[in-house]
Structure 1
Amino acid sequence: MITKSKKELKQGMLENVMSQFNHAADIVDLNPNIRKILSITNNELIIHFPVKMDNGDVEVFTGYRVQHNNALGPYKGGLRYHPTVDIDAAKALAMWMTWKTSLAGLPYGGAKGGIQLDPSKYSTTELERITRRFTYALGDNIGPEHDIPAPDVNTNSQTMAWIVDTYMSTKSPAERSKNQHVVTGKPLGSGGSEGRDRATGYGVFLNIKFWAEKKKIDLKNKRFIVQGFGNVGFWTSYFLELEGAKLVGVQDAFGTIANQEGIAVAQLNDYMQGNKGSIVDFPNSVALPTEDFFGLDCDICIPAALGNQITAENADKIKAFLIAEGANGPTDVEAEEILLNNGVGIIPDILCNSGGVIGSYFEWLQNRNGELWQLDEVLAKLDKKMKEIFDRVYVKAEERNGDMRTSAYVIAIERIEKAYVQRGIFP
């Protein structure tokens, strides 16, 4: 079970992203005026809205949308449904999105948001009404050329379909066709893109593959563990298994399982579908205490759940030689220092999981241009783009004789700084 409390999660995430930003800003000697701008968000929305439940009762929910920066283009970032969602968590995640889109060279800024709730406590019809009411309340604070949400923790393509339908229904008939790309991560029948479902996980896999190639490491028979077996965790595991690597440990919100002989990825995924999304009691595996997960004997550790999971309390237990951050902010600052001192490689989140926003960009482009790309074309474009970004970060880290996270931040911040220097500050 993932154990960080809401208070620990929000404080740690916001403190971490600011610490990472300030460290890189010092290195690049960031213009102090631009530093002031990037240290705060552009807009922070808190929305309270009522929704009628299936039993006729009304519940009032709180939704958030934080727009951090749009110097490079429209705001871009996911919506998550989770009890830990609040304004500080949204601010931290929005800032990470700004660095991620900048690093990827996309014409986007950064945003994030969601609703503070546990979706497992609500029916599908209730979640639909909650989503539609939240979308209506957001109004023109989102838009295809202004702020483009996407799926995140506990949201999916169905959630995006409800959002796009609700948003388009508020527009005139002549305008509706121009607003399909208000969100990305939609189902294929509603304007979604081939490959968007696996883009984040495929990107995590590619980063691991590129890193291993640089280090001349063969992934065959390498053992990996995954925290979070949702969309990102599953697809990362799927592609690693194709390379001959072995999944030996998994942790989700319900429990922890392990098998040093290997856990079949497809079988575990199928089992979860019939077990209410839980990995608990999966055959041919042993259950472990929550606190033992990061100490499992493995080569690669993939945190793909929530933020602040690897801390100073458990970093020394990690036996892996590589951490590939599938989640946003899974490693806190103190833990990273310990890991780097122990010689553990870290592929940072803003690089490692950027396949999702790149895949979203491809979907957005297709919607804007009225195009439909095939799966092999999408994955080929993603492969090429991820390789370019990875090489840029890796080379920068080698030049600086430093870590990959700081190098990624340096590249991202310098791109935004250049935009501000060229354009100036209004008025």
Structure 2
Amino acid sequence: MTITAEIKKVKKQPVRGMMDNVMQQFNNAADQIDLHPSIRKILSITNNEIIVNFPVKMDNGEVEVFRGYRVQHNSALGPYKGGLRYHPTVDIDAARALAMWMTWKTSLAGLPYGGGKGGIQLDPSKYSKDELERITRRFTFALADNIGPEHDIPAPDVNTNSQTMAWIADTYMSTRPPAERTANQHVVTGKPAGSGGLEGRDRATGYGVYLTIKFWAEKKNINLDGKKFIVQGFGNVGYWAAHFLENEGAKLVAVQDAYGSIENQNGITVETLFNYSLENKGSIVGFPEAKALSNKDFFATACDICIPAALGNQITKNNASQIKATLIAEGANGPTNVEGEMILLDRGITIIPDILCNSGGVVGSYFEWLQNRNGELWQLDEVMAKLNKKLKESFNKVYEYSEKNALDMRTAAYCIAIQRIERAYIERGIFP
């Protein structure tokens, strides 16, 4: 094998690992609850997998062809729900794993949704805003009736945002008959507040990460004031989680993003770092109030709480033994692989699993969907109170199930989520 082929093989490994992880997690929980064999077969595969190739004219007049994905895992509880990400690692296996995680996440939260996920395989930093708009609109057109407000409802994910959702909503509504256009505004969630979006949707995921940490600390009689935490990924989720933790008195001591890592054991002011990153093209590198830190040493940083809020498969058997934190709060989807998790659990480290920890985003999306559907307008304080209530209900269910059955929190969360779907299949039966 050539060196180039070897490098490509290494780069693809984490993606394959994500699917392996979600299936192993699913099977562990299915064994625990003695899941009906027929329902295990159904939940082990996806319902639909859509791959679209579409041309887009670039600013220089040249045409580039992009590949987009939308995987719909299961809709037993309601329409497919899940984000669209723009990233070089997006492929069919990644979309399958992420769609499956969404099924468990929406079920655990008690929402009337199934799970879907997708995106485009690209690096958005290489394209202008005008090009990204054309790419997004063309992708939406290519997906056509594979998405819809009562069928499959996308949302923001890695490298997509409220502007992306606004483009999708506008394109989708433009393809509907005139009388139906305004009735399709909830085809996506995570839109700008002025375009049918929900007040507070931008912070919902990060707020949920913070809340689950707070609820855990309350269960353990731990005061968060003065506790040190590190954040991998300083985008929307990482920033808001850090913002709310800092307000609780906790101290941010290290951050890692796609450009590098920084550390200051005396504390990093969240808002100051955020403003610096905005002025530095999204990068935290060179932040004057912290020293540079080697990326390989990031997870070994002395802290109480670790928040992986970037991509999947970041905590593995190669670094799990180095982690100093006593709590891992998974802001990202699938940041800890199975081998890494076994090491952490053996060391007595608690993991708040992704399908619980970062579910504030999909709960917020549900609120936005309802708001659009019913023609309502919700205020920020009302949204935050509803998020708090919903997340606390989910956390308590998982925590109590975990304690009662002597299970780690991930397995407990999966058991609850899968049992809800199993009940739906048993009550309704299998067609025909």
| In 2, Cα distance between equivalents of 1:6 and 1:364 | 37
Structure 1 letter corresponding to 2:280:
N
| In 2, Cα distance between equivalents of 1:264 and 1:283 | 11
| In 2, Cα distance between equivalents of 1:364 and 1:240 | 28
| 2:258 matches 1:267 | no
CA-based RMSD of the aligned residues comes to 0.7
TM-aligned CA deviation for residue 21 of structure 1: 0.1
Question: Match of 1:353?
Answer: 358
Give the TM-score normalised by structure 1: 0.99
Question: Match of 1:376?
Answer: 381
- Per-residue CA distance 1:361-392 (angstroms, 9 max, x = gap): 00000000000000000000000000000000
Verify the 8 A CA contact 1:205 1:239 in the aligned structure 2.
yes
Structure 2 letter corresponding to 1:423:
R
| In 1, Cα distance between equivalents of 2:219 and 2:160 | 35
Corresponding residue to 2:169 among 164, 169, 187: 164
Verify the 8 A CA contact 1:6 1:83 in the aligned structure 2.
no
Structure 2 letter corresponding to 1:375:
L
SS at match of 2:181: helix
| In 1, Cα distance between equivalents of 2:182 and 2:32 | 46
Question: Match of 1:298?
Answer: 303
| In 2, Cα distance between equivalents of 1:419 and 1:53 | 47
TM-aligned CA deviation for residue 5 of structure 1: 5.5
| In 2, Cα distance between equivalents of 1:16 and 1:167 | 34
Corresponding residue to 1:241 among 239, 246, 252: 246
Give the 5 Å matches for 1:384-403. Answer: 384-403=389-408
Verify the 8 A CA contact 1:305 1:326 in the aligned structure 2.
yes
Corresponding residue to 1:60 among 48, 56, 65: 65
Unaligned 5+ runs, structure 1: none
Verify the 8 A CA contact 1:300 1:320 in the aligned structure 2.
yes
TM-aligned CA deviation for residue 6 of structure 1: 3.9
| In 1, Cα distance between equivalents of 2:176 and 2:344 | 51
SS at match of 1:114: strand
| In 2, Cα distance between equivalents of 1:9 and 1:367 | 37
Structure 1 letter corresponding to 2:275:
D
- Per-residue CA distance 1:203-250 (angstroms, 9 max, x = gap): 000000000000110000100000000000000000000000000000
Structure 2 letter corresponding to 1:38:
L
TM-aligned CA deviation for residue 294 of structure 1: 0.2
SS at match of 2:148: coil
SS at match of 1:249: strand
Corresponding residue to 1:337 among 333, 339, 342: 342
Structure 2 letter corresponding to 1:177:
T
- Per-residue CA distance 1:13-72 (angstroms, 9 max, x = gap): 000000000000001110100000000000001110000000000000000000000000
- Per-residue CA distance 1:287-338 (angstroms, 9 max, x = gap): 1111000000000000000000000000000000000000000000011111
| In 2, Cα distance between equivalents of 1:410 and 1:238 | 32
| 2:142 matches 1:131 | no
| 2:220 matches 1:215 | yes
Give the 5 Å matches for 1:174-213. Answer: 174-213=179-218
Verify the 8 A CA contact 1:326 1:349 in the aligned structure 2.
yes
Question: Match of 1:31?
Answer: 36
Corresponding residue to 1:82 among 81, 87, 94: 87
Question: Match of 2:121?
Answer: 116
- Per-residue CA distance 1:60-118 (angstroms, 9 max, x = gap): 00000000000000000000000000000000000000000000000000000000000
Structure 2 letter corresponding to 1:414:
Q
Question: Match of 1:155?
Answer: 160
Aligned residues: 424
Verify the 8 A CA contact 1:324 1:352 in the aligned structure 2.
yes
Question: Match of 2:291?
Answer: 286
Question: Match of 1:106?
Answer: 111
Verify the 8 A CA contact 1:74 1:148 in the aligned structure 2.
yes
| In 1, Cα distance between equivalents of 2:334 and 2:11 | 14
Question: Match of 1:252?
Answer: 257
| In 2, Cα distance between equivalents of 1:346 and 1:6 | 26
| In 2, Cα distance between equivalents of 1:410 and 1:137 | 36
Question: Match of 2:3?
Answer: none
Verify the 8 A CA contact 1:9 1:84 in the aligned structure 2.
no
| In 2, Cα distance between equivalents of 1:6 and 1:128 | 28
Give the TM-score normalised by structure 2: 0.98
| 2:198 matches 1:226 | no
Structure 1 runs (4+) deviating above 6 angstroms are none
TM-aligned CA deviation for residue 9 of structure 1: 2.0
| In 2, Cα distance between equivalents of 1:415 and 1:396 | 14
Corresponding residue to 2:45 among 40, 43, 66: 40
